[in-house]
Structure formats: structure tokens, C-alpha cells
Chains A and B, each alone.
Chain A
């Protein structure tokens, strides 16, 4: 098994902005250099590069710019933000199998100043052809269909969605790297924000960002010899559900669910030997607020339809029952396709986060929701 065979030894990022003013390739180079510096490694130590199918920077271009030289492991994972934890899983497989010593996982995007994912997009994909011509042409609208049914099935309200953003913005307010640093919101701000795709308001949608994040993966044995305390990968899982579509899984019996998240969750608990109650803090992918509630249910933190009770009374805020996204998440910090959640999980394991959650339990990370997805569970060395 791969559990506890590999660790994240370094993390790096650019600043998070609305207009980086430089190329995505340069952002990738900057983030990877920072991650290698953090790990105490040099470009020449890297033998594997892994990224998202959606990333515009080829592994070979990145290798050239960094002066990496030879690579023995190059691969990509599809399905947008669902790839975030899966690319780390690829790195784990590579270092565990001995195909590479050090693998860097990266994602660099000018999502705000370049192509904005929130705009209507005529995907050439056949599956999308069932939905886009009907006018269901944006991620927010595609999520809204599931969100409406969730409200209906479980008696939740749009305020329950708003509480997710209130928590994220509270956390971002004290994170100097967050776009929304110093700008918390109230539930009334959420109620007053304009409709994007009912029942989703503007403040149910994550921000759009320019930036890059990279993480360095190697074996636990090698990581122990590096300067930073290793964030051991106790579990790494990928998952797709039955009747899976990209953002439009409307044809399976339960529309208001994320069975692909449950697929990753079952593997995470089985690989690591932990249970949901052991988790100290969770980095849940938060491009749209309703999916945070549904993840809490699918991962076993509460029963189906009960997430609104878990998040009530500040339950997912820093001093709550399960602090979620202490960095502010994609709603508050930046939208780096889930990779900034992995970096925060590493800081939480190291004990160096600006909003540090006390305790010794493992830290969970999830990836894109509504798509084939992935998850990680990180912990400190014993």
C-alpha cells in the first residue's frame, strides 16, 4: 500500500492576484522554485513533474526554464479542479514505485486576467452538449441545479450556503496572503449579494484568481533528511461516481449528492486507519458553497442532509467542531484550482499556519466537486 510511504517536503506559491502581469509559465517557475527552496532541494534533484490536464504549461517547458534536465516521470490528471489531490497521488505512486526520487506537482493559471472559468463556455465535449445549448452554460448554473434540489430534499436554506462564505471570509480576514485579507462579511452581506444563478448568489461563488502553487513530493525516508518536518501522506485517493458527468451528474438516482467524494472518503479512511472524528481540520474544495455542505455529508462528518446543523453556531469556523479552510479557502484566499488547500494542509501539519488549528490529528484535503475528484490525508511524522 501507499499509505505513509511518501511525504510533502516543500510548498511554494506566487502572490495571489487578479492580474499577475506575467505569463503562466513564469508563475509556474516562481512557485516551483519557492517549493524547492522550502524543501532544501535544487532543480537538478527533480525527476518528475505532474500537473492538471487543464494547465497550459508543459512539463518540458517548466523543466527547461528551471534547468531540471532529465525527467523520468511526466503525467497529467483531467477533470479540472478534481485533479488537485490526484496529481499528488501520482507523485506518491512514482516515488513509491521508485520511478522518480523527487516529484513536483504544480498548477499555474491566470484565471482572472486570462480565460475566466465562470463565463459561458461552449466546451467541445459531447457531454457538455446536452447542457450548454439549454442555457446551462456556466459552472455556477450547473451547480445551482444540484443546489436547488439539495434545498428541497433537506429543508436547508440559502442562509446555510451563506454561512460557508461567512466562515471562509472570517478566516481569510486574518491571512495576509488571502485576497480578502481584512475583509470579513456577515450573513446579511451574503443575503444582499446579487443572484448569479438562483439559488446561488455572488457570495456563494469562489473568487477568480491569478497565481501558482507547487508542492514537492518524495519518500518519507528522504523527507526526514530535509530541513522541513515532512507532511506524511497517510492516504491519497481518486474517485469517480456512478453515472458521472462533469458538473452535470443529473441522471443518477440522487441528484443532491456527491458520490464521487464518498468514493475518495472511503479510501481515505481505509488507507489511513483514521475516522472522520479524528480529523483536526479539513481543506474542503469550495468553488461553490453548497458543495461544502454536501462534502461534509459524503465524507462522514455528519449524516446526509445534516450539514446545516454541523455548520450552525460557527461549527466550521476556527474554534468550531471542525474548522474548515482556515486559510480562507477559494472563497477567501484564492482560486488556485484547489492547490492552495494542499499547501495550507501542509502548513497545518507543520504548525506554521497563520490560523493554526491546535491538536495533533490528521488534516484532510479534497479536490474539485461535481467532477471526478481526489483527496489527501496528511499528518506529521510520529
Chain B
């Protein structure tokens, strides 16, 4: 059944173009910027729409779609097949050029891939990917690859089962340092030799005076591993672990977060949940802490023309298994854009926003954005207390 529908939708190719309800207009742009809290004046000055708004122009609102939407068809079909839960996993938007006031945007979409059944940490299910192209007349102005996961909910990974350090009298200084956001490396109180991992005695001079020194936490990758299998409690694979030569000359192992590294790459330490973590030693943006109020969630949902009840109706959100209303994806995309343009300046020319979606961001969460400036773009991560809400790359023109 699934295969037949996939074959039919694939054979159908792109849907006919469906026009947006309103041309690109200043009132909607102003409402959107206000709801996002985005004070960037560049858009109004240039008479263009914020790039991250592209999907807003063709949102259907409460009206049913006049053309068959392949994503909706696949989603409904899988729902009937028992894959009752849904999450959006990826949204990769590319902007070919800015949209100007008065332009009318239309959208065509097609089914790109249906993959499954796959076992994931959420449960067993299917990934459905569509490709949408936005047009002004016949000119493609932007596109989006969008992926959802329809699944039968399984047991959730439990962060409380994550493997924790073994703290002893001989290594407590290191872990107390990590909890305090410092990298403390053992240094002999007699001969000054540094050493890691620490121990009660100095193998160099034999003294029993272990002390420590706090280091800056910079170094270079000596080796690294990308872990895929088997599952590790509290972790989402694939993830990277790196062995680093500290500038001071000893080696330290920790998780590495960033684009795929190479041996010799410079890294710098950060601390998360009492553990050191390596990141590329590049310019960082943030942190930017955003208090996610119900007003933010509701006003941005409406400003993005997303009227799904889970973004404005708390009772409905709770009934569907959430703890409260939560941010919609168009808003997350807009906030990622705001974070980067606030940090790099209003003239920043955003050409693409490719994000991977994680845990939902609910009302009353604090959403903290951090970023790293890398050659291929700005790597952005947005976290709540529950975990990573969004991670991805913002491409900017230089």
C-alpha cells in the first residue's frame, strides 16, 4: 500500500504551482519581525522580505489546499498504518534571491524520498522527504528540502542513564573543575610535571603532592572516533569523540561537537553537564538566551500563518502529549536567522538555513543559541534544558 502510493506520487512529479494568498507585503513583514523580536532595519530599508519568511508567503492558513500535497498524503497514509506520532526532523532552505515587496510567490512540491521502516531512538517509523520550490512567475527564488518522521512511539532514551564519571579522591579536582567550567590538569607539587589522567603519585619524581593547574583548554586533535553503533545510553549517534594534545603537552579525551574534524585541527574546550567538550577553535557567537513565553509562541505562529492548534491552544497541546504549546518550525527558522543577523550585523546576507530539529521548545523554556563561524557557514545550536532543540548551518554571502 505504502509502496503503491509512493510510486504514484513519485510518478506524478512536481505538483502544479499553488499561489500564495497575498503578495509580499510590508504589514506581514512588520508583524513577523515584531513577533520574532527582530529589530533588523535592513529589510524595510531595502524593500525586501526576511529570507527566513519565504515559507510564510505560501502557507495555506485554515483553508484546505486546492492541490494535493504529497507530504500530507504520505503523512495521513502512515498515520492510518499505525505510525501515529510525527516529528519534523530537517528543514533545509536555500534562498536564491531576496523577495521584493509586491511580488507574488507560488510553490510547487514533490515527493523526494520515503525511507523505512527504520528503528530510531524515538521508535520505528518512516522518513518522508519533500522538495518544494518557490517561484515568482517562472523564476525559482528559493527551495526547501523538508523531512518528517512518522513513527510508532517506543521507549524514550533516558538521559538519567547517561554514563557518568567515576569520581575518586585522586581525580576529584578534575571533575570539580569541569563542573565549575575549568579545565584543571594535575601538576606535581614538587617537580611541576603535568599529567593526565591524574593519580596520587608523580611517576616522574615520586612525590605524593598532586596539585593542579588550570589551563586555557586549547589544543589540537591527535585522533578521533565517529561512533555509530551500538547505542550508548544518553547519546544520539553518530557523535564524535576526540583525543586532544593540549597546548601544555598532555592529552585529554572528550566529546567533540562541530563539523567533521581532521587530525591536527585546533580545538577549544567548553563544558556541558559537568563534562568537557571539544569544539573547533574558531570565532563563536552568543550565547543568546531567549525566554520563550506563550506570547512569543502564539504571536510567531500567527505571524507565520501557522494555525495548528499545538502552537496556540494549551489544552490541545497537552491532549496531544506535549507539556505545553511549543514553537513552530517556521519560527525556529526565523529565530536562527535573527541570532545570526543580530550577531553579524544587519547587512548580513542570508543565503540558506539548513536545520535539524530535536526536542520541542515549549512555553516557559529558555532557548539558548550559540554559534561557531566556520568556512562553510555559521554552525548554530539552540538548546533548552531538555536538550538540543535545533542545530544546523546558516550560509551567508561574504
Chain A interface (Cβ < 8 Å from any Cβ of B): 118-120, 122, 124-138, 141, 144-146, 148-149, 152, 194-198, 248, 250-251, 255
Contacts and interface: CB of A to CB of B under 8 A. Distances in A.
Interface stretch (B159-167, B343-351, B362-370): B159-167
B239 A135 contact: yes
A248 B254 CA distance: 13
B119 to A, nearest CB: 14
A134 B241 CA distance: 7
Interface of B: 162-168, 170-171, 196-197, 222-233, 235, 238-239, 241, 243, 250-251, 253-255, 263, 275
B241 A148 contact: no
A195 B163 contact: no
Given A126-B168, A126-B171, A196 B229 contact: yes
B197 A130 contact: yes
Contacts of A136: 225, 227, 241, 253
Nearest to B174: A130
Contact of B250 (A122, A126, A198, A251): A251
B251 A135 contact: no
Given A136-B225, A145-B223, A122 B263 contact: no
Contact of B253 (A119, A130, A196): A130
Q: Give the interface centre of A133, A141, A146 by most chain B CB atoms within 10 Å.
A: A133
List the 9 shortest-distance A-B pairs measured between CB atoms, nearest first: A129-B166, A198-B226, A149-B223, A144-B225, A120-B232, A195-B228, A148-B223, A132-B163, A122-B163
A137 B234 CA distance: 11
Contact of A145 (B224, B230, B255): B224
A135 B250 contact: no
Contacts of A197: 225-229
B166 A126 contact: yes
A138 B163 CA distance: 12
A195 B240 CA distance: 13
12 contacts: A133-B164, A134-B241, A134-B255, A136-B225, A138-B227, A138-B230, A148-B223, A149-B243, A194-B229, A195-B226, A197-B225, A255-B223
Contacts, number: 101
A130 B175 CA distance: 10
Contact of A148 (B197, B233, B263): B263
Nearest to B230: A119
Instruction: Determine the main DSSP class of B at the interface with A.
Output: loop
A127 B225 contact: no
B184 to A, nearest CB: 14
A138 B232 contact: yes
Contact of B166 (A124, A145, A196): A124
Given A134-B275, A135-B241, A145-B243, A128 B263 contact: no
Contacts of B163: 120, 122, 132-133, 137
B253 A137 contact: no
A250 B227 contact: no
A122 B162 CA distance: 9
A196 B230 CA distance: 7
A213 to B, nearest CB: 26
Contact of B225 (A152, A198, A255): A198
Contacts of B275: 133-134
B229 to A, nearest CB: 5
Nearest to A148: B223
A133 B165 CA distance: 6
A137 B227 CA distance: 9
Contact of A195 (B164, B229, B250, B255): B229
A137 B237 CA distance: 12
A137 B224 contact: no
A315 B233 CA distance: 41
A194 B228 CA distance: 9
Nearest to A132: B163
A47 to B, nearest CB: 40
A132 B254 CA distance: 10
Contact of A127 (B162, B197, B255): B197
Given A126-B166, A145-B223, A148-B223, A135 B228 contact: no
A118 B230 contact: yes
Q: Give the interface centre of B223, B241, B255 by most chain A CB atoms within 10 Å.
A: B223
B241 A146 contact: no
Contacts of A119: 230
A90 B165 CA distance: 35
A251 B197 contact: yes
A133 B197 CA distance: 14
A125 B228 contact: no
Contact of B241 (A125, A141, A152, A194): A141
